Amino acid sequence: MDFLKEYSENIDRELRSLAIPESPSNLYDPLRYFFTMGGKRIRPILTLLAAEKFGSKNHEAMPAALAIEIFHNFSLIHDDIMDEAPVRRGKETVHKKWDTNIAILSGDVLLIKAYQQLNTYPENILKELHTVFNKTAIEVCEGQQMDMDFENISTISRSNYLEMIKLKTSVLLGCALKIGAIIAGANQTEQQQLYDYGINMGIAFQIQDDLLDLYGDPSLVGKQVGGDIIANKNTLLMILAKEDANSDQLNRINELTKELNSEAKIQGVLTLFEQLNVNDKCAKLMNSYYDSAQGHLNNIESKSNKSALWRLTNALQHRAY
Amino acid sequence: MDFLKEYSENIDRELRSLAIPESPSNLYDPLRYFFTMGGKRIRPILTLLAAEKFGSKNHEAMPAALAIEIFHNFSLIHDDIMDEAPVRRGKETVHKKWDTNIAILSGDVLLIKAYQQLNTYPENILKELHTVFNKTAIEVCEGQQMDMDFENISTISRSNYLEMIKLKTSVLLGCALKIGAIIAGANQTEQQQLYDYGINMGIAFQIQDDLLDLYGDPSLVGKQVGGDIIANKNTLLMILAKEDANSDQLNRINELTKELNSEAKIQGVLTLFEQLNVNDKCAKLMNSYYDSAQGHLNNIESKSNKSALWRLTNALQHRAY
């Protein structure tokens, strides 16, 4: 996605130039640290692209793009505590580098800083911006809670899983786009089409993550292939497998969750997935969401005049990692 | 403060009637639990009284009062994790009754819910409300971080201590009042006088807490007398004692921090405090802040027409617990 490099560099620069006080250093050093960690910056780029699509200049949507990215960083810092994750993007997580208390409080202050960015807009759109942002922020918390709850449940239904990834991930993409559209003065229908585009793309993207964990290009994925299987994670692949498995296959799945040899575990699950044609079913489901996403975009774009969002979606759909 | 009973009952009722979803229950049960814990509801009462003072009806300032109280509850839930507090208001804290992850996430959602209350106001005051609320929320985080940092420092200066309690406690009182004044259409000078009144009252109130821990009526304080001494807490009493102590007295203070017999420890510190006249100095400082608070109130009230805020301040100043 080289055509978006300038956008992500702009966002990085803006994040680094935010006025973060020096003191108390235990509160603010983690913010500076996190802002330099990098990342794809997909969410704030969506805000900028949505606003541009409706005639707005980059500069105008930047504070909202930062609000979205800062909110995302808040949720990552708190999620990393909850998931006991030691590493993010190749660097120590905040609660590991400092401690849990500092990570809680730095996350809190980030959430408030996101609201400060949002509060820079004119009064006539402030309520609208806050309404969608608040609703989304709460949904993201609900999604994270569902994800934690699912860790203690062996069988999750497909619809519950899709609802969880929608809340945990997709609504923030929808919100990022809608906020950009509001700032650029798009009408309600256009806002809603962009929001729905984001929801569908987000779900597709998450399903793809589950697929790439197992079937991605090992040299590009950048993490252990089959990591989800080793961790007994409820992925969509596993959920679809359990949907179609006969009792022998279900027993085999249960056995494999206790298998200590990682290679044997991954191979065993892969064999079952092949028998049940799970890879194909999962890819079909993913593509149906990507198609829905493009459909919502089609509703507000002419065939001859495709926005950068169209190109971004294609690039995401065909990523190998 | 029986004359405020109706206010706190109204606030309790409003909190209980907030639309809190049933699911995910691990996210929302802690909110319901915390809302029924009670408390003095001083902060939201300040919002209501400030608004009334400038001609507003109770009803109009209630969402802002709830925003303040919900924010306060967010900070209590997160602070209790950081302080490893097992009990609040005689009941188990959220992270003890559930777990730390649930307490982090419930706190997060409360912070967002505070913003939802704030977003119910007309567009022409939304930016002003968010500006003071955001600034205050960040200051409260800074105060909490300073308080945590102070645990690892043996000698705190008086000015650093006063800055910490200002940020951790007073700014939220100032904000509660200012928000009420904004909603009621008070002018900038009136808003500022009320804010400064809140800042001074908050500092006085916190100094009083330090005093009451040791010199309060044991039958009313509701916690162990001298608890701060047993925990080697940096209170204003201790800071003033260290300011005036000679080297023998400083050595004695250091010895006493290691004393394991609680009775002997408290008696030893009490004797030193008497020698150094610390109680008196601390009470004088407290009263100077209460006087400043009343001074700011005087600037916007005639002698013959005192608001309920005046009565509230008097009641607080003369509390024995």
Q: Give the end of a domain, one of B186, B210, B240.
A: B186
Q: Are residues B40 and B179 in the same domain?
A: yes
Radius of gyration of chain B (CA): 20
Cα–Cα distance measured from residue B7 to residue B62, given in angstroms and rounded to the nearest whole number: 10
Q: Does the beta-carbon distance from A119 to B142 stay under 8 Å?
A: no
Task: Say which of A101, A104, A115 has its CB closest to residue B134.
Answer: A115
Q: What's the mean pLDDT in B26-48?
A: 94
| Whether residue B200 sits in one domain with residue B113 | no
Interface test with B, best of A115, A125, A152 (most B CBs within 10 A): A115
Question: What is the domain count for chain B?
Answer: 2
Residue contact B109–A138, C-beta within 8 A: yes
- Binning pLDDT at 50, 70 and 90, where does residue B219 land? confident
Regarding whether B135 and B222 lie in a shared domain, the answer is: no
Q: Is B38 left (phi over 0), alpha (psi -120 to 50) or beta?
A: left
Under an 8 A CB cutoff, do A105 and B119 touch? no
Residues B41, B177 within the same domain = yes
Q: Please report which residue ranges of B54-187 form alpha helices under DSSP H.
A: 58-82, 94-97, 100-118, 123-150, 158-165, 171-183
Distance from the Cα of A277 to chain B's closest Cα (Å) equals 33
- Residue A320 is given by DSSP the state -
Here the tokens at position A17 are 């130039």
- What's the pLDDT tens digit per position in B144-187? 999 999 998 988 999 999 999 999 999 999 999 999 999 999 99
Q: Are A117 and A66 in contact (CB under 8 A)?
A: yes
Chain-centre distance of CA A58, in angstroms?
22
Place B223 in a pLDDT band, splitting at 50, 70 and 90.
Answer: low
> Does the structure show a pLDDT above 90 at A90?
no
Please identify, among B152, B186, B220, the residue that sits at the C-terminal boundary of a domain: B186
Interface touch B145/A100, C-beta < 8 Å: no
Inform me whether the C-beta atom of residue A81 falls under 8 Å from chain B C-beta atoms.
yes
Q: Are residues B175 and B303 in the same domain?
A: no
Q: In this complex, how many residue pairs, one in chain A and one in chain B, have their CB atoms less than 8 Å apart?
A: 109
* Whether residue B139 is found in the same domain as residue B174: yes
Are residues B180 and B152 both part of a single domain? yes
Give the relative orientation of helices B158-165 and B123-150 as an angle to the nearest 10 degrees: 140
Q: Are residues B151 and B197 in the same domain?
A: no
Residues B3 and B137 in one domain: yes
Query: Domain range spanning residue B105?
Result: 1-186
Q: Is the domain of B175 the same as that of B208?
A: no
Alpha carbons B25 and B279: distance in angstroms, whole number: 48
Using the 3D structure, point to which of B186, B215, B250 is the last residue of a domain.
Answer: B186
Tell me the pLDDT tens digit for each residue of B109-156. Answer: 999 999 999 999 999 999 999 999 999 999 999 999 999 999 989 889
A256 vs B192: CA distance, rounded Å: 66
The answer to whether residues B139 and B202 belong to one domain is no
User: Do B178 and B307 belong to one domain?
Assistant: no
Q: Please give the distance of CA A287 from its chain centroid, rounded to a whole number.
A: 17
Q: Find the CATH number of the domain harbouring B239.
A: 1.10.600.10
A247-295 tens-digit pLDDT: 999 999 999 999 999 999 999 999 999 999 999 999 999 999 999 999 9
For the question of whether the overall pTM of this predicted structure is more than 0.90, the answer is yes
Q: Which two tokens mark B4?
A: 């405020």
CA distances to A108, B43, B101, B152 from A101, in Å: 11, 25, 12, 14
B113 contacts on A by Cβ (under 8 Å): 138
- Interface pTM, i.e. ipTM: 0.95
